[in-house]
Amino acid sequence: MTRLFSLFLLLLPLLAACPPSGEACEEDGEQRCEDDLISTCEGGTWGEAVECGAGACMTMTDGLQHCM
Protein backbone atom coordinates (compact mmCIF):
# COMPACT_ATOMS: atom_id res chain seq x y z
CA MET A 1 0.00 0.00 0.00
CA THR A 2 2.83 2.41 0.84
CA ARG A 3 4.50 1.68 -2.49
CA LEU A 4 1.26 2.46 -4.35
CA PHE A 5 0.82 5.72 -2.44
CA SER A 6 4.44 6.69 -3.22
CA LEU A 7 3.82 6.04 -6.91
CA PHE A 8 0.69 8.17 -6.77
CA LEU A 9 2.62 11.06 -5.20
CA LEU A 10 5.33 10.70 -7.84
CA LEU A 11 2.82 10.84 -10.74
CA LEU A 12 0.59 13.57 -9.32
CA PRO A 13 2.68 16.52 -10.64
CA LEU A 14 2.69 14.97 -14.11
CA LEU A 15 -1.08 14.66 -14.12
CA ALA A 16 -1.52 18.21 -12.85
CA ALA A 17 0.74 19.59 -15.60
CA CYS A 18 -1.42 18.34 -18.46
CA PRO A 19 -3.87 20.83 -19.92
CA PRO A 20 -7.38 19.39 -19.79
CA SER A 21 -8.57 17.98 -23.09
CA GLY A 22 -12.15 18.36 -24.19
CA GLU A 23 -12.50 22.02 -23.14
CA ALA A 24 -14.01 24.36 -25.71
CA CYS A 25 -11.62 26.39 -27.88
CA GLU A 26 -12.24 29.02 -30.53
CA GLU A 27 -10.08 28.43 -33.59
CA ASP A 28 -9.12 25.07 -35.15
CA GLY A 29 -5.35 24.69 -35.35
CA GLU A 30 -4.76 26.99 -32.38
CA GLN A 31 -2.20 25.58 -29.93
CA ARG A 32 -1.56 26.10 -26.22
CA CYS A 33 1.42 25.25 -24.03
CA GLU A 34 1.67 23.79 -20.56
CA ASP A 35 5.31 23.26 -19.62
CA ASP A 36 6.69 21.02 -22.42
CA LEU A 37 3.27 19.73 -23.48
CA ILE A 38 1.11 21.16 -26.27
CA SER A 39 -2.58 20.82 -27.13
CA THR A 40 -4.19 21.63 -30.47
CA CYS A 41 -7.73 22.90 -31.04
CA GLU A 42 -9.66 20.52 -33.29
CA GLY A 43 -13.38 20.72 -34.01
CA GLY A 44 -13.95 23.30 -31.27
CA THR A 45 -12.32 21.34 -28.42
CA TRP A 46 -8.76 21.01 -27.12
CA GLY A 47 -7.10 17.73 -28.01
CA GLU A 48 -5.02 15.65 -25.64
CA ALA A 49 -1.72 17.22 -24.57
CA VAL A 50 1.37 15.71 -26.18
CA GLU A 51 5.09 16.23 -25.62
CA CYS A 52 6.93 18.66 -27.87
CA GLY A 53 9.66 16.10 -28.43
CA ALA A 54 13.23 17.41 -28.44
CA GLY A 55 12.05 21.03 -28.38
CA ALA A 56 10.10 23.07 -25.91
CA CYS A 57 6.68 24.67 -26.01
CA MET A 58 7.14 28.41 -26.57
CA THR A 59 4.84 31.42 -26.26
CA MET A 60 5.76 34.18 -28.71
CA THR A 61 5.33 37.91 -27.99
CA ASP A 62 2.11 37.96 -30.04
CA GLY A 63 0.66 35.16 -27.88
CA LEU A 64 1.14 32.38 -30.47
CA GLN A 65 2.07 29.12 -28.73
CA HIS A 66 3.92 26.30 -30.51
CA CYS A 67 6.73 23.73 -30.22
CA MET A 68 10.23 24.91 -31.08
Domains and CATH numbers, the chain: 2-67 (2.30.130)
pLDDT digits (tens, 9 = 90+) for 8-21: 455 444 444 444 56
Side chain identity, residue 5: F
pLDDT at site 17: 45
Please report the pLDDT score of residue 43 as a whole number: 94
- In this predicted model, what pLDDT tens digit does every residue of 8-64 receive, in sequence order? 455 444 444 444 567 889 899 999 998 889 999 999 999 999 998 877 888 899 988
How buried is residue 22: exposed, middle or buried, by Cβ count under 10 Å (0-12/13-18/19+)? Answer: exposed
Give the number of other CB atoms < 10 A from CB of residue 19.
16
pLDDT of residue 61: 92
